[in-house]
Amino acid sequence: MRFLMLVLADAGVDGTEEPVLTIEEWATETSESGVHLDGDRLQPPERAKTVRRRGGKVFVTDGPFAETREVIAGFDILECRDMDHAVEVATRHPMATHGTIEVRELWPLDL
């Protein structure tokens, strides 16, 4: 089963708890086990564009649409046995102690 893991940075987290692994150790561990398929960090939200089409018109605005303390800082695509396995992998990511990790199973379109 494939999962999207969103890595969210949260400006409100104090970051006093030490991560289980460094990002380099997590990447090595998950890559060597075959769990990590792809992933990367993202440029800051200030460099983003939000695109919407409404009533036949296209609207492009700078930055993220929602005002929030949490921003998507990166993503990973995981190949895991099930959701429990994906959660187990996510708990070892360093941002689990300094931000938030959201894990979602991919829902293929079967096109």
Identify the DSSP state of 45: G
- Token code pair at residue 63: 């930055």
The rounded distance, in Å, linking the Cα atoms of 105 and 22 is 25
The pLDDT of 29-53, averaged and rounded, is 93
Residue positions counted in the chain = 111
Residue 85: which pLDDT band, with cuts at 50, 70 and 90? very high
Amino acid 64 reads: P
CATH code of domain 2-105: 3.30.70.1060
pLDDT of residue 46: 86
Q: Return the bridge partners of 8, or none.
A: 72, 100
Residue 12 pLDDT greater than 70, yes or no:
no
Identify the DSSP state of 62: E
The structure's pTM equals 0.85
Residue 13: which pLDDT band, with cuts at 50, 70 and 90? low
The rounded distance, in Å, linking the Cα atoms of 57 and 37 is 37
Domain boundaries, the chain: 2-105
Tens digit of each residue's pLDDT (9 = 90 or more) over 48-84: 998 999 999 999 998 876 666 788 999 999 999 999 9
Residue 32: which pLDDT band, with cuts at 50, 70 and 90? very high
